[in-house]
Amino acid sequence: MVDAAIAAGITFIDMADAYGNRGGSERLLGETLGSRRKDVVLATKFGLPMDEAGRLKGASRAYVMTAVEESLKRLKTEWIDLYYLHRPDPATPIEETLRALEDLVRQGKVRFTGCSNLSGPQLADSIEVARAQELEPFAAAQDEYNLLSRGIESDLLPVIERHGMALVPYFPLASGLLTGKYRKGQPIPPGTRLSEQRFSARFMGEKNIAVVERLAVFCAERGRTMLQLAFGWLLSRSCVASIIAGATSPEQVQQNAEALRWQMTTDELAAIDRIAAGR
């Protein structure tokens, strides 16, 4: 799959230290990339628990400095291109985290820093603190955003846009619902993400399914795919720097890469928004 991604021109790979049973994702990627490390942009995260006791977590300076060394070791690299705070740490002042990350940038171990799952007010506060203390603010934010999940538009997205940050949406396909594989009255394919209760309960409501049915018709009328629609809609947002979509096979990797070809018109975007709103 890594071979297929690089061959398709995909150069941005996103992970976290906690993925793959705490370290497995980074370790496997480090072993797989080898000398091709210089050809890709690597993003990883810190902050989620890395032990059963829950002591190895958070955003304190001491933990950040330990976590980055472990990630570098697993990834077999000397630097991380984009290093995210995975989620807010209420026990640590944001200034402490920002100072630790700035030191990592100065040391050459990290190139850019980001945050994930902060609220709009939390992100705005971090930017205010960074400027007051003459620290570099977060350059990117990774948050849930797709046609069916637009909660960040009310408070977080305006902060991102106002300060010229990059947005990297996760769940761009609403855990697969926006691929068009899940249709009304049909069973959910076994082994897929939406076959898990926590994801199906989140995305498979009657309203969302009705919206997807109408979007499928919209795509069919234009000779487009649902994948193209989901990605094209996100890429129409000027702050979206990249889309991170999971894949379980080289074929899916190729499909994801080929789906980035629909440059939507203003009228198409307006029509999609009306459908998504149930109008």
Quote the pLDDT of residue 202: 61
Q: ∠212-242-92 over CA atoms, to 5°?
A: 105
Quote the pLDDT of residue 127: 98
Quote the pLDDT of residue 139: 98
CA gap 163, 158 in Å, rounded:
9
Question: Residue 182's pLDDT band (boundaries 50, 70, 90)?
Answer: low
Quote the pLDDT of residue 246: 85
CB 33 within 8 A of CB 76: yes
Q: What is the mean pLDDT of residues 213-240?
A: 95
Quote the pLDDT of residue 94: 98
Quote the pLDDT of residue 179: 85
Summarised one tens digit per residue, pLDDT across range 19-58 is 999 999 999 999 999 999 999 999 999 999 999 888 999 9
Instruction: List residues with catalytic annotation.
Output: 19
Q: What is the mean pLDDT of residues 177-191?
A: 67
CA gap 129, 106 in Å, rounded:
19
More confident site: 170 or 207:
170
- 180: pLDDT strictly greater than 80: no
Quote the pLDDT of residue 204: 61
Q: What percent of the chain has pLDDT over 70?
A: 91
Flag the least confident range among 88-97, 127-136, 238-247: 238-247
Summarised one tens digit per residue, pLDDT across range 108-128 is 999 999 999 999 999 999 999
Question: Residue 209's pLDDT band (boundaries 50, 70, 90)?
Answer: confident
Question: Residue 105's pLDDT band (boundaries 50, 70, 90)?
Answer: very high
Quote the pLDDT of residue 191: 56
CB 183 within 8 A of CB 210: no
Any idea where the domains of the chain sit in the sequence?
2-138
Summarised one tens digit per residue, pLDDT across range 147-163 is 999 999 999 999 999 99
CA gap 156, 174 in Å, rounded:
19
Summarised one tens digit per residue, pLDDT across range 234-249 is 999 999 999 999 888 9
Is 2-138 a domain of CATH 3.20.20.100? yes
**Residue-averaged pLDDT of the chain:** 92
Beta-ladder partners of 141: 115, 167
pTM: 0.91
Ramachandran quadrant class, 240 (left: phi over 0; alpha: psi -120 to 50; beta: rest): beta
Quote the pLDDT of residue 197: 55
Quote the pLDDT of residue 208: 86
